[in-house]
Structure 1
C-alpha cells in the first residue's frame, strides 16, 4: 500500500510502504527521487496469474446480504480453511481419505498417493492469490490439498454410485450425512464457490492412479449433473479436464460455451430502448425455451407480423443461487475468463424482467422455473444480480438487432396491437367474432332487402 501527500512549493512527498524489505518503512523523499522510483519500478510480467481468485470486493459489498460466497458446511483450499462452523466436516476428511484410498487405490499405497500430490504442490500453491497460503509451509499445504482432493473424489464416487437410493450397507459408510440428500446439496453447492476451489491438477493426479479415463469422466459428470447444480434436461458436452483450472470453470464452460462469430460493430448498441417481456408481447414477440442448456443460446426470428424469441431455460432455487452469483464473480475476476457469457445473460434477463408480470410470463412459457419464492422475489433477484455489471456487447447483438428492426416496423406493430386487442383472451375473441357475425348478418340482410326491392320493381315495370 502506498500513501502519497504533497506539501507546498517543495513538491516533496511522504511515502509509506509496507511489505518491501529493501526500503525503509517510512521517510521523506524529494520529487526527483520520487519520479526516479517510478521510472525504476519493475513489473514482473512473467509472474503466473492466479487461477483461483477471491470474489471481487465490489460484488461482496453489493451482495453482502446474500451470503452466497462463503461455504456452509465444508471448506476446500486455503481461503476458508479452519473457519468456525466448518469443523464437523473437516473432521471427516481423514477417515474419508482412508476409505477412498482403501477402496479405490488399485494396490497403490496411501503414502504413494500423497507423494504424487506433493509433487505438484508448488504448482497448486501458485493457483491461489499471492499471500493467501503464507500460513502454510509446504508440508501443511500438501496435506490440505491431499485431504481436500480425497473429500471431493469421495463425494463424486457417492453420487456416481447413487448410494442414497441403492441401500448400501450403513456399516460401511464413513458418516451418514455424506449420503443424505440435504447435506449432499449443501456440500455440492460449497464445491462450486469461487473461493472454495481446489486445482483440477490435484484431482487429476489422484484420479489417474485410481480410475481409468472413462470412470474419470463419469465421476466429474456425476457432480456436474447433480440436481443441485444442473436442473437442465439437456446433455453436457464432453469435458476437457486438462484445459480447466477448477470445477467452477467446468460448469461455467458448459453453461456459457458459444461458437466464435464476428459481429459488426454497428450492431453492438442497436437496442435503442430496452423492452420487458410484457412489452415485447404487446409488440407481437413471444418467447419459447431453447433446445440446449446453454445460457448464450438466444435467437430471434421474425415471421410476417409476429416474432419468436428463444431463451434458455433456467431453474432458480436456494441452492442454485450461490452457483449463479459465483459464476458471475468468476467472470469479474481480474484473471477470469475473457468471455462474459454468464454476465451478459443476467444483464439480458435484467432488461427483460422489471416486474412480477414479466416473471409470470416467462414461467408460463417454461423459460423460468421458480423455486425461489414469489414472482416479485425472482424479479428482484435478476435485478440485483445484474446490478453494476457490464455485458459483452457482442453477445446477443444479432438477436437484439432483429428485435429492434421488428419493433420499429409500423405495420408489424399495428398488426400486433390489433391482434392483442381482439385475440388476447377468449372473451375478446368471442366479442370480435360476434361483431363480425353481426356485421355479416347486417350485410346479408341489406343485400337480400335490396335484392327483393329491385326484383319487385322489375316485375312491376
Structure 2
C-alpha cells in the first residue's frame, strides 16, 4: 500500500513518477507546527518516529485518504482498488489518523483558485459517507466539528441519528453517571450475555409479532419502533463491508459511557432477534435484513459473535422502551392465544374457509336444537 499511497500523492500534486523525489517535494515544513498536537492522538511505541518522519507519514496517509475521497466525489478516476473495500478500510479503528490533519492537507491541496477549489472538506466527507449503507438516516447538514478522526465523526452523526429522545430526568449526564455507578456497586450491571427479548421466530410464532420494513428520514430518527404487534425496522444489508464497519463502530463505542452506546444497543437488538438461520430467513422475508453472505447461518453467527462485544446499560439506553413494550406484548395471554389461533386455524385461505364453514354449521345446529326444544306456538 505504501507504493499506492505515493502514487496517490503524485496524482493529486501532479508530480513526476519518481517516488523519492515525490517524498522530498512534500513541504513538510508547513505542517511541522502541528506535529506536537498530532502526536497527542497516539501512544503506541511504533509512532516514536522523528518529528519529520512522523509528519511525512501523516501527509502521505492524508493524501491517500483524500485521493480516495476525490474518486468517490467523481473528481478523479478510481484507483486500481476495490473501492468498497477501500471505503471500509478508511473507517477501520486501527487506520485512523487525526481528522484535523487531513483537513489541513486537503486545504493545502485545494487552495483558492485551484482545480478542486469548488469542493469543501465537509462535502468530500459527505460523498464518502453516502457510500455506506447502514440503516439509519444521517443529517449531513450538521456534521460535528470536534471529531478526532473519520470513524469518530461517523459514529457521532450515526449516534445522533439513532438515539431516542432522552427523558427529562435522564438529561443530565452527571446524574446518569451516578446512577450507573450505583448499579455497578449493587451488582445490577449485567453483561452482554443477557437476552432482553426472545428471537424473531419465537416472537412471531408465540405472540404473533411481525416485522416490517420502514424507510428512515429526517422526520423520524428512530431506527427501530414497536407498535400494535409490529416491529418496524429499516433494512440492514449484511455483507463483508457492512459487518466490518459495524464491528469497528461497536469497538470504538466501547470507549464511551454506557448511555452513549447507541449503536451497540441497536446491534444488541439484532443479536437478540437472531439466534439461528431461521431468524435471518424470517427477517429477510419481512424486508428487515438483506443478507448477501454465503448463508443465513453465517449471518446468524456474525450477530451472535458481535453481540458478545455489546456492553450496554440495560435500563438506561435509547431502546429501553422497545424492550419493555415487546416483552409486555409477548407475555400477554391474549396475544399468545390469538397467535396460536392464527397459526393453527387461519394460516391459509382453506383453513379460514373451513373454520367459517364449521362455525356456520355449529350455529345452524344450535339454532335447529333451540327451535326443536322451544318450538314456536
Q: TM-score, normalised by structure 2?
A: 0.77
Contact 1:116 1:205 in 2 (8 A): no
Residue equivalent to 1:221: 126
1:445 shift after superposition = 6.1
Instruction: Say yes or no: does 1:332 pair with 2:254.
Output: yes
Q: Distance in 2 between matches of 1:337 and 1:120?
A: 33
Q: Distance in 2 between matches of 1:133 and 1:233?
A: 36
Q: Distance in 1 between matches of 2:196 and 2:70?
A: 50
Residue equivalent to 1:309: 231
1:236 shift after superposition = 4.1
Residue equivalent to 1:90: 2
- Which of these residues, 224, 228, 242, is aligned with residue 298 of structure 1? 224
Contact 1:189 1:322 in 2 (8 A): yes
Instruction: Say yes or no: does 1:344 pair with 2:344.
Output: no
Alignment of 1:14-53 (within 5 A): none
Q: Distance in 1 between matches of 2:322 and 2:295?
A: 29
CA 1:202–1:388 in 2, change beyond 3 Å: closer, same or farther?
closer
Q: Distance in 2 between matches of 1:142 and 1:195?
A: 18
Residue equivalent to 1:376: 297
1:115 shift after superposition = 3.6
Q: Distance in 2 between matches of 1:261 and 1:336?
A: 15
Contact 1:113 1:206 in 2 (8 A): no
Q: Report SS of the residue matched to 1:297.
A: coil
Structure 2 alignment gaps of length 5 or more: 16-23, 111-115, 171-178, 184-188
Instruction: Say yes or no: does 1:157 pair with 2:70.
Output: yes
1:151 shift after superposition = 0.9
Q: Report SS of the residue matched to 2:275.
A: coil
Contact 1:188 1:223 in 2 (8 A): yes
CA-based RMSD of the aligned residues comes to 3.5
Instruction: Say yes or no: does 1:390 pair with 2:307.
Output: no
Q: Distance in 2 between matches of 1:141 and 1:92?
A: 19
Q: Report SS of the residue matched to 1:414.
A: helix
Contact 2:134 2:242 in 1 (8 A): no
Alignment of 1:132-211 (within 5 A): 132-134=46-48, 136-161=49-74, 178-180=78-80, 183-209=82-108, 210=110
Higher alpha-carbon Rg: 1
1:416 shift after superposition = 3.0
Q: Report SS of the residue matched to 2:212.
A: strand
Q: TM-score, normalised by structure 1?
A: 0.64
Tell which deviates more after alignment, 115-124 or 358-367. Answer: 115-124
Q: Report SS of the residue matched to 2:294.
A: coil
Q: How many residues align?
A: 337
Q: Higher helix share goes to which structure?
A: 2
CA 1:337–1:216 in 2, change beyond 3 Å: closer, same or farther?
farther
Q: Distance in 1 between matches of 2:216 and 2:165?
A: 17
Contact 1:100 1:154 in 2 (8 A): yes
Q: Distance in 2 between matches of 1:336 and 1:138?
A: 34
Instruction: Say yes or no: does 1:365 pair with 2:286.
Output: yes
Instruction: Say yes or no: does 1:117 pair with 2:31.
Output: yes
Q: Distance in 1 between matches of 2:346 and 2:31?
A: 67
1:7-63: per-residue Cα shift (whole Å, max 9, x none)? xxxxxxxxxxxxxxxxxxxxxxxxxxxxxxxxxxxxxxxxxxxxxxxxxxxxxxxxx
